[in-house]
Structure formats: C-alpha cells, structure tokens
Amino acid sequence: MKTLERKFSSSERIVAKAKFSAWAYLSCAIVAIVLGVIIALLWEFGGKIEGLFGGTGEPKYLAPEYLRWALLGAAGVVLIIALIITIKLFSKELIVTEDKIVYRAGILSVHNVVIPLKEVRILESHQSGLQALVGVGSITIISDAEKPYDIKGIKSVDRFSRRVIRQMSEARKAQESTRFVLKLS
C-alpha cells in the first residue's frame, strides 16, 4: 500500500523497508489441491461410492452434472481464500526510520505500532526449516511495551533484522552524543 512510505519519506529518512512474502499463498494451493483431489476421486469412483450405500448402476447423487457444480464451488472457495490472502499481504507495511520502527496492518480497521528504537530491548527472528529454505521468517520485537510484537511473513528476515539492529546502535550512539554533563567544581 505504501502508506507509511508516503507519510514518512517527506519528513524522515527511511532506513529499511520489510517486504512480505507470497509464500502465504501456500495454504491456498494446499486447499485447492485437496479439494481438487476429492472432487476427482468422487468423479472417478462416484458409482462405487454410492454402491457402498445401497445404490446400484449409474451414480445418482455423485453424477458428473452435480460434481461440475461442486468443482465450481471449490474453485470459488479457493479464489475467495486467495483474495483474502492478497488483501492481508498488501495491507501490511513495516519500515524503519532513523529513530523508530513503524508497523501498519489493515485496510478498513488499521493497526499502527510505532516503537522508538531506543526502547527496543530484544529483536528476535524466527524461521522454521521450510521457511529457511525459501527465505521467509518472522520477527518478534520486545520493547518497553506490555506485549511483544510478532510480525510474520517477512522476506530475508535475517538481513532485515541485522539492518534494524545496526540502526538501533546508531540511534543509541546519536542519543549518547547529544547528552551533556554539567560538572560543577
């Protein structure tokens, strides 16, 4: 959506932007495969399945005319799931400016989180075995806030977390250099 990028690029320098992965579509592909296999099996063995329940001859309820509608319904379910995943994928933004991390999620109901870099205590990145193979992961930001923030589906999560940590140290150095001590002797 680039909302955060438009908002912050005019007033602050954006140090890093997270990109979210399209591997979220894997669940949609799994649903499509499972529904497709079930319908193909019903199409192929409909007469035998109805025969187990007392039907004889040609399938009455699992006839190809009805299974065409089931196939159309399954395609509709898969398209709706893909649309929901696409909306979720494109409604998330994560940027790092010189002094804060900004996360935004949602279209109609928007959730914004702004975390000053000086308040971040721990930045964890997580990857399962499959996620490590495809280069996707999640980040947990632990700060002075009441709860940690989990952000999932980030591409190249290790590189992004290293960039955030580098910026955290630069922000802390800048904060220390602006402090001055007044000594009275």
Give the count of domains, the chain.
Answer: 2
Q: In this structure, is residue 15 part of a structural domain?
A: yes
Residue 157 has pLDDT above 80, yes or no: yes
| Residues spanned by the domain of 79 | 25-87
Q: Is residue 184 part of a domain?
A: no
d(CA 136, CA 48): 44
Within a domain: residue 185? Answer: no
Of 47, 62, 87, the position where a domain reaches its end is 87
Cβ(154)–Cβ(139) below 8 Å: yes
Whether pTM > 0.75 for this model: the answer is no
Give the residue from 112, 121, 113, 103 showing the smallest Cα distance to 172.
Answer: 121
Taking only the tens place, the pLDDT of each residue in 115-129 is 888 888 888 999 988
Residues 115 and 166 in one domain: yes
The residue from 87, 107, 139 where one domain ends is 87
Burial class (CB in 10 A: 0-12, 13-18, 19+), 116: middle
Residue of 132, 175, 141, 159 whose CA lies nearest to 17: 159
Query: Residue 182 pLDDT more than 70?
Result: no
**Domain of 116: which CATH number?**
2.30.29.30
Going by the DSSP 8-state scheme, the letter that residue 22 receives in this structure is G
Do 13 and 104 belong together in one domain? yes
